[in-house]
Structure formats: structure tokens, C-alpha cells
Amino acid sequence: MQTGQEQLTVVTKEMGITHKDFYAELPALFDNNPYQQTEETIVCKLGGKRIEIILGPEQVRQLGRSVRLPVTAVNLRFFDFSAREISDFVRQFNLRFMKGGG
């Protein structure tokens, strides 16, 4: 018997990124699947299941006197995704937003 309620799983991350830079990566993150963006919320259907990404306010982390880094809290909300699907998406998400140094 179906209750009409969706299974929700939330993954929370703190990222060193601005909203502008985050939005620039969305087409590649979603493999060019259509998505809707309203204010700080992004909604996409992947395999018939809904994912919402909610960006917290942009903040700045001050390191010493001269280093300022952007910081944004990000909530990934998965509706009816299996643990494996969530793990796969988060792995791709992390790879997409990984910053290299050298």
C-alpha cells in the first residue's frame, strides 16, 4: 500500500564556492538534463526521481590578514533515491566541484 509520502535523504556539505560559480557547473552536473532554478533552490529530475539542491547564504572565511575564501552551505535533498544512487550522485558531485592546487 502506497502512502503517498516520498522517502527523503539529505546530504549537507560546506563548500568553498560562490553561488555564481556553483550555477556555472549545473549543466555539466546534471549532464544537460533540464532543471529549474528559483533563488537558491535548484530542482532536477534524474531517472524519474527528484533532487533538490538548496544553497545557503554566501559567506566569507578569513584566513589570516589577506586570505578570504568563499563558503556556501549546500543541502542535497534526494527523493526516493536508493543509497547506491545517492552515493553515485555525491561521488559525481564531488568530482565536478573538486578544485585542484599546485
Residue bearing cell 555539466: 28
Q: What domains can you pick out in the chain, each with its CATH number?
A: 8-96 (3.30.1370)
pTM, entire model: 0.86
Cα(69)–Cα(92) distance, integer angstroms: 23
Cα(83)–Cα(68) distance, integer angstroms: 36
Each residue's pLDDT tens digit, 4-32: 678 999 999 999 999 999 999 999 999 88
3-state secondary structure at position 4: coil
* Alpha-carbon distances of 92 from 15, 61, 88, rounded to whole Å: 15, 26, 6
Each residue's pLDDT tens digit, 58-70: 999 988 888 889 9
